[in-house]
């Protein structure tokens, strides 16, 4: 059995195809939509691993609202040489969170392009990024095999067109992903660019007329574009691909950094000299995993002192509560929810009442669109490059396929409508369209870089 697997930054899905019927596989029985698995990993203090919705639930139950308590832990001895005293043995201690029940990892795929992310300490065990991703992939493989009732003999995995705009980082990310697949024991793995897979899924149901198709695949970590020519009989020719590291996670960050920092102490001045509150502290709010870094004692000391001498103690107490009581994930879940609502409404209220955090911020859609303006321009430039590479113009594109959760953001829909015409836009299943195309590729076993010979 050959399977298509879309291992995404935010969500993952898998499918099989037998030449006639496509079937999405239930990767996450705990999730409201079992065919969609949140790409999360939770590792307990004892080393047990969980993925998907269960990973988030276990983290939330054990961490959110829990007060962090640090204790000194002995980690070994080191030899220290002094000019006047010679060499002596020095005991080494570090401060650790004494009661943390586990670590949650999200958006692991984004870390592939980050050369500095090599390994991380999880309760005394060091894991490389490849090992963490391999754990997720192995558990997905086991669920796939259980679902289809037979061994998996081959897999076609989706990959972004570019993991990074930097060629060296892009190559590194792909190499690390291949290593993770090998560690996971995935059988006979091949890779296919995700928007190309979406085009294959569309081609299955669009025979009968020749057309130029542009796939706009906008997920949690990247925006990928593929332009493909379909000849009407099932044959296709890949004309161009391009991509940029702009995704839904980045749009969430724009909201936090652009609208919410004032609720956590931005603008605070300290003491009689009215010194500014250190900006590098609030920079950690740009993603929820980075908020955890503020639990280090020296950051907590900065926050505690600022509460005493600062002119915005309530907001700083909110920051302390955000950090010490592990409210980073609920904050970003609230932000994601507000972003989704802005796709349906002209404004929404982004609110949070947890611990000492208490705010309700009304956000109009136009202001969200202002915040993501640079990202819209980067995405449009990506589309223009793909068109130029394909030697096509917007009027020669017959269909624009939107897939991926972020493809529903109105500002990007409007940009596509202005460029190509609203009548050309079609929305695929935003979460499983890529997996369906990968399943078709797995069944056909064909290259898609050129038009097959007649």
State the average pLDDT for the chain.
88
In this prediction, residue 448 has a pLDDT band, given cuts at 50, 70 and 90, of very low
The pLDDT value recorded for residue 93 is 40
The pLDDT value recorded for residue 84 is 57
In this prediction, residue 238 has a pLDDT band, given cuts at 50, 70 and 90, of confident
Beta-bridged to residue 216, according to DSSP, are: 225, 402
Integer Cα distance of 150 and 21 in angstroms: 18
The pLDDT value recorded for residue 342 is 97
Nearest to 51 by CA among 41, 65, 60: 41
Indicate whether 259 pLDDT > 60. Answer: yes
- List the CATH code of the domain at 208-247+372-430: 3.30.420.40
Indicate whether 283 pLDDT > 80. Answer: yes
Whole-model pTM: value is 0.81
Indicate whether 70 pLDDT > 90. Answer: no
Indicate whether 438 pLDDT > 60. Answer: yes
In this prediction, residue 210 has a pLDDT band, given cuts at 50, 70 and 90, of confident
Indicate whether 137 pLDDT > 90. Answer: yes
In this prediction, residue 76 has a pLDDT band, given cuts at 50, 70 and 90, of low
422 vs 62 pLDDT, higher one: 422
Three-state secondary structure call for residue 232: coil
Integer Cα distance of 102 and 60 in angstroms: 10
Three-state secondary structure call for residue 284: helix
Q: What percent of the chain has pLDDT over 90?
A: 64
| Mean pLDDT along residues 395-417 | 94
pLDDT digits 0-9 by tens, 339-361? 999 999 999 999 999 999 999 99
Integer Cα distance of 29 and 53 in angstroms: 9
71, containing H or E segment? strand 70-82
The pLDDT value recorded for residue 326 is 87
Indicate whether 71 pLDDT > 70. Answer: no
The pLDDT value recorded for residue 207 is 63
The pLDDT value recorded for residue 67 is 64
Give the number of C-alpha atoms closer than 13 A to the C-alpha of residue 16, restricted to the C-beta side: 18
Residue 17 near residue 435 (C-beta atoms within 8 A): no
By CB atoms closer than 10 A (0-12, 13-18, 19+), residue 79 is exposed
Residues 6+ apart with CB under 8 A from 142: none
Integer Cα distance of 201 and 197 in angstroms: 6
| Mean pLDDT along residues 246-266 | 96
In this prediction, residue 454 has a pLDDT band, given cuts at 50, 70 and 90, of very low
Residue 368 near residue 336 (C-beta atoms within 8 A): no
Secondary structure (DSSP) of 358-425: EEEEEEEHHHHHHHTHHHHHHHHHHHHHHHHHHT--GGG--EEEEESGGGG-HHHHHHHHHHH-GGGE
Domain range list for the chain: 208-247+372-430, 249-363
pLDDT digits 0-9 by tens, 143-167? 999 999 999 999 999 998 888 888 9
In this prediction, residue 95 has a pLDDT band, given cuts at 50, 70 and 90, of very low
| Mean pLDDT along residues 204-223 | 85
Residues 6+ apart with CB under 8 A from 335: 252, 255, 256, 260, 350
Give the number of C-alpha atoms closer than 13 A to the C-alpha of residue 347, restricted to the C-beta side: 7
Nearest to 135 by CA among 173, 103, 100: 103
The pLDDT value recorded for residue 122 is 87
Strands 11-17 and 211-218: unpaired
Any idea which residue has 């670590």 for tokens? 103
The pLDDT value recorded for residue 248 is 92
| Mean pLDDT along residues 374-401 | 96
CA dihedral over 138, 171, 114, 261, signed as positive or negative = negative
Nearest to 383 by CA among 372, 369, 403, 397: 397
The pLDDT value recorded for residue 196 is 85
């Amino acid at each position: 059995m050959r399977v298509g697997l879309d291992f995404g930054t935010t969500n993952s899905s898998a499918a099989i195809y037998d030449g006639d019927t496509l079937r999405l596989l239930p990767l996450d029985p705990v999730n409201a939509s079992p065919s969609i698995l949140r790409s999360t990993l939770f590792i307990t203090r004892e080393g047990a691993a969980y993925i998907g919705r269960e990973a988030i639930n276990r983290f939330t139950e054990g961490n959110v609202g829990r007060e962090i308590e640090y204790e000194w832990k002995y980690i070994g001895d080191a030899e220290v040489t002094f000019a006047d005293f010679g060499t002596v043995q020095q005991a080494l201690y570090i401060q650790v969170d004494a009661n943390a029940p586990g670590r949650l990892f999200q958006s692991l795929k984004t870390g592939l392009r980050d050369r500095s992310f090599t390994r991380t300490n999880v309760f005394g065990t060091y894991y490389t990024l490849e090992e963490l991703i391999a754990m997720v992939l192995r558990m997905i493989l086991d669920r796939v095999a259980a679902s289809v009732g037979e061994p998996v003999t081959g897999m076609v995995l989706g990959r972004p067109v570019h993991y990074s705009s930097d060629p060296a980082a892009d190559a590194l990310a792909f190499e690390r992903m291949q290593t993770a697949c090998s560690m996971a024991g995935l059988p006979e793995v091949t890779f296919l660019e995700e928007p190309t897979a979406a085009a294959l899924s569309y081609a299955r149901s669009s025979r009968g007329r020749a057309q130029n198709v542009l796939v706009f695949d906008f997920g949690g970590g990247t925006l990928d574009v593929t332009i493909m020519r379909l000849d009407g009989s099932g044959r296709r020719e890949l004309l161009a691909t391009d991509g940029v590291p702009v995704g839904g996670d980045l749009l969430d960050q724009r909201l936090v950094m652009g609208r919410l920092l004032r609720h956590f102490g931005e603008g605070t001045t300290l003491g009689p000299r009215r010194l500014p509150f250190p900006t590098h502290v609030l920079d950690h709010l740009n993603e929820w995993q980075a908020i955890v870094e503020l639990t280090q004692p020296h950051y907590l000391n900065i926050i505690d002192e600022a509460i005493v001498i600062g002119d915005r103690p309530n907001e700083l107490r909110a920051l302390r509560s955000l950090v010490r009581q592990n409210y980073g994930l609920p904050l970003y879940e609230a932000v994601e929810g507000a972003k989704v609502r802005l796709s349906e409404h002209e404004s929404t209220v982004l609110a949070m009442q947890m611990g000492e955090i208490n705010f309700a911020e009304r956000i109009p859609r136009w202001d969200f669109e202002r915040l993501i303006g640079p990202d819209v321009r980067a995405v449009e430039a990506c589309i223009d490059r793909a068109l130029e590479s394909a030697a096509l113009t917007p009027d020669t594109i017959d269909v624009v396929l939107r897939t991926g959760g972020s493809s529903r953001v109105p500002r990007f829909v409007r940009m596509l409508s202005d460029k190509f015409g609203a009548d050309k836009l079609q929305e695929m299943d935003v979460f499983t369209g890529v997996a369906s195309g990968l399943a078709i590729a797995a069944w056909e076993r064909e290259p898609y870089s050129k038009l097959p010979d007649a």
